């Protein structure tokens, strides 16, 4: 009897542990997206070793995720205990997100599943999750040379109506939701909600927490192979078979500033779903800046044309200004044969309080806004 019970107990434990450490990904059909995990280096190492550990195809995607210069070499030294952002492909299925296809880890002499999860992959996942993903029945029985799928936590969910890049951040002991929110430009309520926790006391050190990073707004078309093309703030990436380099940098000239005073809740929602970042009493649309990469493409012999139709001479990333109006030739995606472009008109510098981006926002009614803000303030003060 005792023997028969044992496997049942183990599987119950496995389910509990997995539930505690996977990220919610609620897309109703299987979908994929780009995500990041924060790997904490165990020993002194270099970029090349991290690239192979996580089976990252191109070094430049590792460089872009960490905003390192493009000429950084594989031998670039990384000291122990440093956080490196590693790009992964996320597969969202059955309410959970896990990395798909990579990393694949080859079992070395002396390895155990616990060592692989807790030491090699810096606790980004639990050994029970590796066991489950690889149908390993006896966690003490793995063979040198076995190739193990490593299901890292990730998500593709929109957050508050915005497309974001989900980042698996390892919680340090003693840190709080407020600190993490501030470090990554989000807020405590959102962090708590998407991680299914209530308070700082629910935060567990050395476990990953799902942090939604703001992504740049692009002109990407829904039928592009790389839709929705999400680049997190402060990162760059390559797309269109390597022909195009895109940068998400809040500090560059691609920032639009609108000043609204004050905002309604529907105004806020409308702005957020149009990908604006609301900062105190103004809103910013951080646009993805893309330009030809000058790289040799991976699937084409040469890169297709990157010129905007009807604006001869303008390539992706170029703009012309007529007074305060600016038109920019923007990257709009790619397919088997074509790189798509679109001309984006921007008149936000025509006046300090530029026109709102949508009808919803222009329906703002000031008196109700003040009332709303008062109610919210009182609620927070007196609860």
Ligand X SMILES: *[C@@H]1O[C@H](CO)[C@@H](O)[C@H](O)[C@H]1NC(C)=O
Query: What is the contact surface with ligand X in residues (CB under 6 A)?
Result: 42-43, 94, 119-120, 163, 185, 214, 217-218, 220, 228, 233-234, 250, 253, 274-275, 277, 285, 291-292, 313-315, 317-318, 322-325, 335-338, 340, 347, 357, 365, 367-368
Cβ proximity to ligand X: between 44 and 199 the closer is: 44
Q: Which of 299, 159, 295, 294 is nearest to 225 (CA)?
A: 299
Q: Which of 50, 51, 32 is nearest to 41 (CA)?
A: 50
Running DSSP on this structure, what letter comes out for residue 309?
Answer: T
Task: Compute and round to an integer the Cα radius of gyration of the chain.
Answer: 23
| Separation CA 242–CA 245 (nearest Å) | 7
Find the shortest distance in angstroms from Cβ 253 to ligand X. 4
Find the shortest distance in angstroms from Cβ 1 to ligand X. 26
Find the shortest distance in angstroms from Cβ 359 to ligand X. 13
Find the shortest distance in angstroms from Cβ 5 to ligand X. 21
Q: Can you say whether the dihedral through the CA atoms of 19, 21, 26, 32 is positive or negative?
A: negative
Residue recorded with tokens 């040379």 = 145
| Separation CA 228–CA 254 (nearest Å) | 19
CA atoms within 13 Å, Cβ hemisphere of 366: 2
| Separation CA 380–CA 374 (nearest Å) | 10
| Separation CA 29–CA 331 (nearest Å) | 28
Query: Which position's Cβ is nearest ligand X?
Result: 323
| Separation CA 74–CA 28 (nearest Å) | 39
Cβ proximity to ligand X: between 62 and 240 the closer is: 240
Cβ proximity to ligand X: between 89 and 319 the closer is: 319
Q: Which of 336, 236, 332, 251 is nearest to 293 (CA)?
A: 236
Find the shortest distance in angstroms from Cβ 383 to ligand X. 27
Find the shortest distance in angstroms from Cβ 250 to ligand X. 4
Find the shortest distance in angstroms from Cβ 202 to ligand X. 20
Q: Are 45 and 82 a contacting pair, CB within 8 Å?
A: no
Cβ proximity to ligand X: between 1 and 257 the closer is: 257
Distances (CA, A) of 372 to 226, 271, 368, 379: 40, 17, 6, 11
Q: Which of 99, 145, 100, 158 is nearest to 125 (CA)?
A: 99
Find the shortest distance in angstroms from Cβ 171 to ligand X. 20
Cβ proximity to ligand X: between 106 and 199 the closer is: 106
Give yes or no for a cis peptide into 184 (omega within 30° of 0).
no
Cβ proximity to ligand X: between 190 and 335 the closer is: 335
Cβ proximity to ligand X: between 100 and 335 the closer is: 335
Cβ proximity to ligand X: between 207 and 327 the closer is: 327
Find the shortest distance in angstroms from Cβ 59 to ligand X. 20
In angstroms, the first-to-last Cα distance of the chain is: 55
């Amino acid at each position: 009897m005792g023997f028969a019970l044992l496997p049942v107990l183990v599987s119950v434990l496995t389910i509990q542990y997995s539930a505690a450490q996977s990220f919610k990904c609620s897309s109703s059909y299987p979908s994929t997206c780009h995500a990041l995990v924060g790997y904490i280096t165990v020993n002194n190492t270099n970029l090349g070793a991290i690239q192979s550990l996580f089976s990252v195809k191109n070094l430049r995607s590792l460089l872009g995720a960490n905003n390192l210069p493009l000429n950084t070499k594989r031998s670039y030294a990384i000291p122990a205990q440093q956080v490196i952002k590693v790009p992964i492909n996320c597969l969202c299925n059955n309410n959970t997100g896990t990395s798909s296809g990579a990393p694949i880890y080859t079992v070395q002499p002396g390895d155990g599943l616990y060592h692989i999860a807790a030491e090699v992959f810096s606790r980004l996942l639990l050994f029970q999750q590796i066991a489950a993903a690889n149908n390993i029945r006896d966690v003490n029985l793995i063979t040198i040379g076995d190739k193990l799928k490593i299901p890292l936590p990730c998500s593709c969910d929109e957050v508050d109506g915005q497309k974001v890049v989900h980042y698996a951040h390892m919680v340090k002991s003693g840190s709080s939701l407020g600190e993490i929110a501030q470090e990554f430009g989000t807020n405590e309520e959102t962090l708590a909600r998407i991680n299914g926790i209530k308070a700082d006391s629910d935060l567990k050190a050395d476990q990953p927490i799902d942090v939604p990073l703001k992504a740049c707004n692009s002109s990407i078309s829904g039928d592009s192979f790389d839709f929705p093309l999400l680049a997190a703030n402060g990162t760059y990436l390559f797309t269109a078979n390597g022909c195009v380099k895109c940068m998400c940098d809040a500090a560059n000239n691609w920032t639009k500033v609108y000043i609204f005073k004050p905002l309604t809740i529907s105004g806020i929602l409308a702005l957020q779903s149009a990908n604006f970042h609301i900062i105190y009493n103004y809103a910013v649309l951080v646009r993805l800046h893309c330009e030809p990469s000058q790289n040799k493409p991976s699937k084409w012999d040469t890169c297709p044309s990157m010129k905007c139709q009807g604006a001869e001479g303008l390539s992706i990333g170029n703009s012309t200004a007529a007074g305060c109006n600016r038109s920019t030739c923007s990257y709009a995606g790619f397919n088997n044969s074509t790189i798509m472009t679109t001309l984006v008109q921007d008149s936000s510098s025509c006046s300090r309080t530029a026109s709102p981006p949508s009808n919803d926002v222009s329906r703002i009614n000031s008196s109700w806004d003040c009332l709303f803000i008062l109610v919210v303030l009182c609620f927070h003060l007196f609860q």
